[in-house]
């Protein structure tokens, strides 16, 4: 199971997450997000990582802009909230879907044909992610195949074990290991990875 630590804005937090075992570092480029990373920091983080892979998170950008960012920052993947007509040549695509209480989760939801991976997050009218809210994991189909799915939304050190039981391809955590938006909490990060090891 892979781990994505999202909402990283500094080199220090990126290197800490990588040293603890993060497989992906999420760099949010959405201007509306309080976790929007500066272009300078994004460039430095991407260049500094050795084992973790940088993932760009986009909301309002066009296909052409996403492709340009992917090339500029050498992104291993791009996370988007709509299908792309033009995909980056050298980056995988993660299609993020925000789950409402009445959303039906189907095999196509878990492995969309137009993306390499799905990401399931909790719907909010106020933000595209980082809300700290967890959707009802019981909505996942029985014995669902999650080997192409990132599980996100309100995951924290105290509920990571329940998330691990679902055996997704990756766990995506953001606000659950923060001091404040854009700044990670060292102790929460360490506890998070300890709980994963116990799983």
pLDDT band at residue 199 under the 50/70/90 scheme: confident
* More reliable by pLDDT, 88 or 198: 88
Tell me the C-alpha distance between 192 and 198, whole Å.
10
Q: Hey, which residues does 26 pair with through a beta bridge?
A: 55
**pTM of the full predicted structure?**
0.94
In terms of phi and psi (left: phi > 0; alpha: psi -120 to 50; beta: otherwise), the region of 51 is alpha
What does the DSSP 8-state code read for residue 52?
Answer: S
Domains of the chain: 2-198 (3.20.20.70)
Residue 159 has pLDDT above 90, yes or no: yes
Tell me the C-alpha distance between 95 and 5, whole Å.
17
Question: In the chain, where do the E strands start and end?
Answer: 2-5, 24-28, 53-57, 77-80, 92-99, 117-122, 149-151, 170-173, 178-180, 183-184
pLDDT band at residue 129 under the 50/70/90 scheme: low
- Of the ranges 22-36, 41-55, 85-99, 129-143, which one carries the lowest mean pLDDT score? 129-143
Tell me the C-alpha distance between 6 and 77, whole Å.
13
Q: What pLDDT, in 10s, does the model give residues 63-76?
A: 999 999 999 999 99
Q: What pLDDT, in 10s, does the model give residues 176-189?
A: 999 999 999 999 99
Tell me the C-alpha distance between 12 and 32, whole Å.
23
Residue 87 has pLDDT above 90, yes or no: yes
Q: What pLDDT, in 10s, does the model give residues 27-55?
A: 999 999 999 999 999 999 999 999 999 99
């Amino acid at each position: 199971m892979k781990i994505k630590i999202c909402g990283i804005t500094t080199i220090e937090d990126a290197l800490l997450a990588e040293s603890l075992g993060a497989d992906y570092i999420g760099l949010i480029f959405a201007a509306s997000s309080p976790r929007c990373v500066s272009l300078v920091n994004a460039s430095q983080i991407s260049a500094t990582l050795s084992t973790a892979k940088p993932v760009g998170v986009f909301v309002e950008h066009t296909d052409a802009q996403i492709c340009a960012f992917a090339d500029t920052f050498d992104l291993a993947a791009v996370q988007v909230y709509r299908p792309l007509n033009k995909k980056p040549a050298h980056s995988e695509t993660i299609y993020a879907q925000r789950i409402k209480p009445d959303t039906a989760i189907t095999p196509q939801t878990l492995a969309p044909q137009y993306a390499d991976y799905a990401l399931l997050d909790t719907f909010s009218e106020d933000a595209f992610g980082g809300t700290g809210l967890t959707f009802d994991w019981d909505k996942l189909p029985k014995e669902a195949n999650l080997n192409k799915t990132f599980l996100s939304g309100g995951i924290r050190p105290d509920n990571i074990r329940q998330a691990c039981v679902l055996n997704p391809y990756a766990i995506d955590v953001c606000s659950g290991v923060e001091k404040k938006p854009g700044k990670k909490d060292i102790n929460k990060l360490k506890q998070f990875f300890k709980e994963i090891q116990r799983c």
